[in-house]
Amino acid sequence: MNLFTLSFLILSFTFSLISADKALKPEQYPFSFSKPLGKIDKNSAQRGLQVYIEVCASCHGLKHVAYRSLEGLGYNKDQINRIAAQFQIDDLPNEEGEILKREAIYSDYFVEPYENYNAAKVANNGAYPPDLSLMVKARKDGANYIRSLLLGYTDAPVGFDVGEGYYNKYMAGNVIAMPQPLYGDDVEYKDGTNASLEQEVNDLVTFLTWTSMPDLEDRRSAGLKVIFFLFIMTIVFYLSYRKIWSELKK
């Protein structure tokens, strides 16, 4: 490690320490899944998918999620094929060796918004819009953090220089490269729910919690059974232990 990289590391380290202090702690919101046995609110997650497709998907990918897995949110195969068909994906090379586009189908993964990393960067002022598949797990207190962040755009305080970015009180350093994406009424919900800003954000966060943890409901319901079984087994072993050892005391 040469002197330059070392000083760069120290500088960026110090900067991140100073800036990390300025971010507010996320506001705690009671989502349907917040409690240990809570579930994903399917209607909310479906609305969140709509917000993702109509707003977020133009910049952010969801590369680890397959369309087929949307069955977990209550869609059937036909509905999923219709959702996927809104996106164009590279087909396999044809007989002439050309790669043509085709509509995405049930078995495809969510189509990436950009051809590659550099294309994504250059289209967004040099800031790569991160993939959202795991965003809830990739941030501390992820669901509350993303919710607070999306609701946390305000005008910068007087004298605060945001440079090329935007002011956000929940972002580390208070400067975020992403302009405010949601304002309310950005989508027209198919189920007639009023698309207020907070409603959109809650729905989106519910959807992204599901993309991060598609195992959440299976995990919790299996966990309940396993813990119940182990609890009973522990009692049985304890009583056997007492019974067997009581022979020693005689």
Binding site for other proteins (CB under 8 A): 1, 9, 12-13, 16-17, 20, 36, 64-66, 69, 130, 133-134, 137-140, 142, 172, 212, 214-215, 218-220, 222-224, 226-227, 230-231, 233-234, 237-238, 240-241, 244-245, 248
**CB nearer to other proteins: pick between 109 and 167:** 109
**CB nearer to other proteins: pick between 68 and 169:** 68
> CB of 227: closest distance to other proteins in angstroms?
6
**CB nearer to other proteins: pick between 100 and 235:** 235
> CB of 164: closest distance to other proteins in angstroms?
18
Six-digit token pair at 123?
């289209």
> By the 8 A CB rule, do 171 and 149 touch?
yes
Q: Cα separation of 41 and 35, whole Å?
A: 13
- Cβ burial, residue 84 (10 Å; 0-12/13-18/19+): buried
**CB nearer to other proteins: pick between 13 and 183:** 13
> CB of 36: closest distance to other proteins in angstroms?
5
DSSP 167-217: EBTTSGGGEESSPP---S-SS--TT-----HHHHHHHHHHHHHHHH-TTHH
Listed residue (209, 244, 242) closest to 73, CA to CA:
209
> CB of 195: closest distance to other proteins in angstroms?
29
> CB of 35: closest distance to other proteins in angstroms?
10
Strands (E), the chain: 88-90, 101-103, 166-167, 175-176
**CB nearer to other proteins: pick between 101 and 137:** 137
